[in-house]
């Protein structure tokens, strides 16, 4: 017989209502700039320049100018290159960087979670410590190291920086691999499977949900990454870096609707990715890590 749900006390109901209002206001504050940019991305430049009051920015465009998006995608933005070129490098670094980062994180997390070796606890502690150290404190060393390896201003160099195995994904995947029983590996060993076969054919499929969640979160982080391409890929701008350069170049002409269109294009892939896989992320992400 199903147990009856406990009724909420008046104080609990008030607390839930307050929390709902706070989160609703927070959601509105996040949607506010997106809607504002979306509306103004359809104005023509003459209408934008003629706006004199703040309320006019929220009015719908008199003439919806969809050519802003076509202009933004086809025309070159001066020395900054074209939006399509920026989009290409953003996609390239996001896809390859996500695959490389999640793969190496999974390898490191699996070894630390399932094998006993000297220094195992120290290695795990170092992974935690690496997350605590501010990234700004390591930038000078990274710049010198990349110059020494002659990998600065190259796509391979940026991917090399993205390949670090110790980070947020390592902690989450370590927890996920720990939750998988070793009996599956022992059964595979009885059938003649080696260490690599166990990892790729047994452990990876059983950890598919957490791996997908890590890949989605990592892809969003790399798509929005500004500092790494800015410092180590000067010749080829990504969208995150290029939008700032475009803003500077459009200040004189005040053709901000073009820039707004570029911002919408840069935001849409992340919104679509998160909307499609939101359920998968929530199902596999919990407070203390990931569930298998």
Per-residue pLDDT of the chain (292 residues; tens, 9 = 90+): 444 455 667 777 788 888 889 888 888 888 888 888 888 888 887 777 777 565 566 777 888 888 888 887 777 666 667 788 888 999 999 999 999 999 999 998 998 888 888 888 888 888 888 777 776 767 888 888 888 988 888 999 999 999 887 888 888 888 888 888 888 888 888 888 888 888 888 889 888 888 988 898 899 899 988 888 988 988 888 888 888 777 777 666 677 888 888 888 888 888 888 778 777 666 666 534 444 4
Cα(198)–Cα(242) distance, integer angstroms: 44
Per DSSP, what are the bridge partners of residue 82? Answer: 76
3-state class of 132 per DSSP? helix
| Phi-psi label, residue 115: left if phi above 0, alpha if psi -120 to 50, beta otherwise | beta
Residues in the chain, overall count = 292
Q: At CA 101, angle to CA 100 and CA 103, rounded to 5?
A: 65
CA torsion 116-121-124-125 (nearest 10°) is -170
Cα(175)–Cα(291) distance, integer angstroms: 8
Tokens of 154: 């190259």
Task: Check: CB of residue 204 under 8 Å from CB of residue 214.
Answer: no
Per DSSP, what are the bridge partners of residue 290? Answer: 285
3-state class of 198 per DSSP? helix
Cα(215)–Cα(226) distance, integer angstroms: 19
What predicted TM-score, i.e. pTM, was given to this entire model?
A: 0.79
3-state class of 269 per DSSP? helix
Cα(169)–Cα(213) distance, integer angstroms: 10
């Amino acid at each position: 017989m199903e147990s009856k749900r406990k009724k909420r006390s008046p104080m609990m109901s008030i607390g839930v209502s307050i929390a709902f209002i706070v989160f609703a206001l927070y959601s509105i504050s996040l949607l506010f700039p997106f809607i504002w940019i979306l509306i103004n991305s359809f104005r023509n430049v003459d209408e934008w320049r003629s706006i004199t009051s703040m309320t006019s920015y929220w009015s719908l465009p008199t003439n919806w100018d969809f050519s802003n998006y076509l202009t933004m995608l086809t025309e070159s933005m001066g020395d900054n290159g074209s939006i399509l070129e920026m989009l290409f490098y953003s996609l390239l670094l996001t896809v390859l960087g996500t695959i490389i980062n999640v793969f190496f994180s999974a390898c490191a997390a699996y070894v630390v979670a399932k094998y006993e070796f000297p220094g195992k606890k120290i290695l795990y502690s170092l992974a935690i410590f690496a997350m605590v150290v501010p990234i700004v404190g390591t930038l000078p060393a990274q710049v010198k190291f990349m110059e020494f390896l002659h990998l600065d201003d190259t796509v391979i160099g940026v991917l090399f920086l993205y390949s670090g195995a110790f980070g947020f994904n390592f902690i989450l995947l370590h927890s996920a691999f720990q939750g998988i029983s070793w009996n599956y590996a022992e059964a595979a060993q009885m059938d003649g499977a080696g260490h690599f076969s166990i990892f790729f054919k047994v452990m990876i499929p059983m950890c598919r949900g957490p791996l997908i969640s890590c890949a989605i979160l990592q892809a969003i982080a790399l798509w929005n990454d500004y500092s790494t391409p800015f410092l180590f890929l000067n010749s080829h701008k990504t969208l995150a870096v290029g939008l700032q350069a475009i803003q500077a170049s459009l200040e004189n002409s005040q053709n901000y609707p073009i820039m707004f269109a570029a911002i919408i294009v840069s935001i849409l892939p992340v919104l679509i990715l998160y909307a499609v896989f939101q359920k998968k992320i929530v199902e596999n992400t919990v407070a203390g890590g990931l569930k298998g």
